[in-house]
Structure formats: structure tokens, C-alpha cells
């Protein structure tokens, strides 16, 4: 089968590798249909590492994906414990926890120490034609949801989990730093939760406009002194909740300065390095509640309902599309951040077999 593998920094090659064998108990074989390129994929692509994890062997990237069930192992039940069927279209949660540790048992599978994650070394990801995945990670999607939108349920799930952590309520004032795909999803979900006003910042002018299209009351580029702007517009009070979804230079420290006394700060972005920089005195004197968002919990069913009901249109995120055979070009374009870039989709289904 065809697969896009990362060999080193900025070195993706289109290889032909062995197709997976027959799925075992609790597993299914799927034909991958669509894959979204995530910011964390770009970290891996640009640096051949992400956080403390170094990629030192060819790795298939990709974790935002959907597919069609081709073959069932025994006891193949989906994420809501319903039997899966051959031919079903599914969105796949890329995280596979152990399902029986203290964290899994207490409703925190995203914190499982034995969790495996698609496309995070050493586990291969979804930029290939066929995959064996855990049946419990599969969530059937209706035909009203496209393959690309089904793949993008993953970043929507990340945003849902972050908004859950932020406990957004009616009339809360919200700031979102970073108006990439997850950032604008945070804006949309905050708006759907009744937040108002919602302000956003990003480095790129076209993403500032995207933030407004997705529900921001107003938005600016980060060179506009964001802390001063929020203090002015809130008359010195600050925002109830600040979501940091960029991790671009000083944004974590800026997020803390923007939050009001007793406010909440949710860190969603993934940094290039491993340091979290903010003034301790700011966080302490304000009595901030600071939460770091780790992937997601059991949110796929909610994400599917939101898209099916038309509350979130994931197709609007997509700016570029490539076939799997051009995955190297897709990543090179994404890393260059040309004007107008927002979300890149790699269409796998059309590649055949």
C-alpha cells in the first residue's frame, strides 16, 4: 500500500509498504479516506521531534482521519459499544488508551500512561491507504458528513474538551490567542456556549479575518500589543477566560496578563520547546485557575451531533487539498504558511486499492 513516511526534518517520502494483516480481537481494518494535517504533525515534520519525543526511524504521520471499515476482528464494538459493520464510514479517535488503568476507570482516558497515539513515534499514523485500529476508537458517521469533515472531528473534539475545561458560560468574556483551525473552533464553541464578547489574536491577517467569520466580536494581529488592547476594551478588568492556542513566543505570558482576577486560563497550544513562561506574580496575585488541555475525553459523539445538526461546518476550515501521492508537497506548503492557508486535507480514498 502507499504511505507517506517522515525520514527526518522536512523529509517526507511516498513509500510502498506492506498492507496490514487481518485484524485481531477488538480491532478493525479500515480503508483510510481523508487525513487532516495538524499543527503537531508540522512540529514533527519541521523538527523531526515533538516535545521530548524524537523521531529516529521512518514514521507514518497523521492522526486526524476517517475511513471505511473493510474487515472486522472478533468483538469489534465501536466507541459507544455498538457492533461495527463492514462498509461503515467511521471517524477514528487517534488515541488508544489501555481502558483499565486508574485514569481510564475514572473517566480520564486521555491521561492513560499506556496510551498509544497514531503518528506519534513509535506508532505509525494514518497517512496510508489501510490501517488496523482499535474498534472502540471508531465512531460511525452519517452520510451527511463528508470524509474530510469526518477527519476534522478530531480537532473539533480537542476544542470541545478545551471549552469543557474552561467552563464557558453565558455572557462570559473570552479571548482566544491563535486563530488556526483549533482557535476558530474554540471561538465557534464559545459563541455557541453563550460567551460574549469574544476577542481573538493571531500573527496572520487572513486568520484574523477568519476569526471574525467564525464568531469573534473583534480580532487583531499579535503585533497590536494584545495585553494593552484587552485591558483597554475591558476597562482594566480583563477576560473571564483566555484560551491560548498558538504558543507563539510570549503568548502564554500574555494570556495570563489578559485574564481577570480569578479568571481561567486554558493552554491548548503545543510549544516548540518545553518551557512554560509567565509571571508567577501575575498568576498568583490574580488567583488564576490554569489548565493544560491534554487531547480529549469521550467527545466524538458530541462532535458528530454538532456537525450533523449544522452547528459547526468543518468544510469551512479547509483551504487546500492534496492526494496522498503529494503528501510531501502538502506538508511543504503547510510549513511555509502562505497567505490564505488554514487547513490542509489529504484525500486518500481516491488513491485506489
Give pLDDT tens digits for 10-47: 999 999 999 999 999 999 999 999 999 998 899 899 98
Question: Is 243 in contact with 266 (CB distance < 8 Å)?
Answer: yes
Domains of the chain: 2-140+313-351 (3.90.180.10), 157-292 (3.40.50.720)
pLDDT at 134 over 50: yes
Look at strands 89-92 and 64-72 and give their pairing: antiparallel
pLDDT at 272 over 70: no
- Let me know if 131 is exposed, middle or buried by CB neighbors in 10 A (0-12, 13-18, 19+): buried
Res 51: pLDDT:
73
Backbone dihedral region of 210: left (phi > 0), alpha (psi from -120 to 50 degrees) or beta?
Answer: alpha
Q: pLDDT confidence of 160, banded at 50, 70, 90?
A: very high
- Let me know if 191 is exposed, middle or buried by CB neighbors in 10 A (0-12, 13-18, 19+): middle
Res 350: pLDDT:
58
Q: Could you give the CA distance from residue 103 to residue 161 in angstroms, rounded to a whole number?
A: 16
Average confidence score pLDDT of the chain: 94
- Which residue from 215, 36, 227 is spatially nearest to 126, judged by alpha carbons? 36
For 300-343, write each residue's pLDDT tens digit: 999 999 999 999 999 999 999 999 999 999 999 999 989 999 99
Q: Could you give the CA distance from residue 320 to residue 281 in angstroms, rounded to a whole number?
A: 43
Percent residues over pLDDT 90 in the chain:
82
Q: Is 198 helix (H, G, I), strand (E, B) or coil?
A: strand
Q: pLDDT confidence of 352, banded at 50, 70, 90?
A: very low
pLDDT at 351 over 50: no
Q: Could you give the CA distance from residue 261 to residue 238 in angstroms, rounded to a whole number?
A: 8
Amino acid at each position: 500500500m502507499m504511505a507517506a513516511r517522515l525520514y527526518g526534518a522536512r523529509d517526507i517520502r511516498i513509500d510502498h509498504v506492506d498492507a496490514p494483516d487481518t485484524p485481531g480481537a477488538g480491532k478493525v481494518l479500515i480503508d483510510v479516506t481523508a487525513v487532516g494535517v495538524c499543527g503537531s504533525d508540522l512540529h514533527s515534520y519541521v523538527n523531526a521531534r515533538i516535545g521530548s519525543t524524537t523521531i529516529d526511524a521512518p514514521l507514518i504521520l497523521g492522526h486526524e482521519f476517517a475511513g471505511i471499515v473493510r474487515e472486522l476482528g472478533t468483538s469489534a464494538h465501536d466507541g459507544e459499544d455498538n457492533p461495527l459493520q463492514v462498509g461503515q464510514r467511521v471517524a477514528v479517535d487517534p488515541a488508544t488508551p489501555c481502558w483499565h488503568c486508574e485514569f481510564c476507570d475514572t473517566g480520564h482516558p486521555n491521561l492513560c500512561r499506556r496510551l498509544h497515539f497514531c503518528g506519534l513515534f513509535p506508532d505509525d499514523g494514518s497517512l496510508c491507504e489501510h490501517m488496523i485500529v482499535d474498534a472502540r476508537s471508531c465512531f460511525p458517521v452519517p452520510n451527511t458528513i463528508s470524509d474530510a469533515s469526518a477527519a476534522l472531528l478530531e480537532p473539533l473534539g480537542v476544542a470541545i474538551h478545551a471549552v469543557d475545561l474552561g467552563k464557558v458560560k453565558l455572557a462570559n468574556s473570552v479571548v482566544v490567542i491563535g486563530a488556526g483551525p483549533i482557535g476558530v473552533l474554540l471561538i465557534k464553541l464559545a459563541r455557541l456556549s453563550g460567551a460574549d464578547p469574544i476577542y481573538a489574536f493571531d500573527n496572520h491577517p487572513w486568520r484574523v479575518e477568519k476569526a471574525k467569520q467564525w464568531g469573534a466580536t473583534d480580532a487583531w494581529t499579535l503585533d497590536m500589543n494584545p495585553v494593552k488592547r484587552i485591558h483597554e476594551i475591558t476597562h482594566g478588568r480583563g477576560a473571564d477566560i483566555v484560551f491560548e492556542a498558538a504558543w507563539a513566543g510570549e503568548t502564554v505570558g500574555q494570556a495570563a496578563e489578559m485574564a481577570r482576577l480569578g479568571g481561567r486560563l486554558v493552554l491548548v497550544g503545543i510549544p516548540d520547546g518545553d518551557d512554560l513562561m509567565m509571571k508567577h506574580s501575575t498568576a498568583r496575585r490574580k488567583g488564576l485557575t490554569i489548565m493544560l488541555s491534554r487531547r480529549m475525553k469521550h467527545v466524538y459523539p458530541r462532535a458528530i451531533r454538532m456537525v450533523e445538526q449544522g452547528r459547526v461546518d468543518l468544510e469551512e476550515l479547509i483551504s487546500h487539498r492534496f492526494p496522498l501521492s503529494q503528501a510531501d508537497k502538502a506538508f511543504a506548503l503547510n510549513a511555509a504558511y502562505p497567505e490564505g492557508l488554514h487547513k490542509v486535507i489529504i484525500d486518500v480514498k481516491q488513491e485506489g486499492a
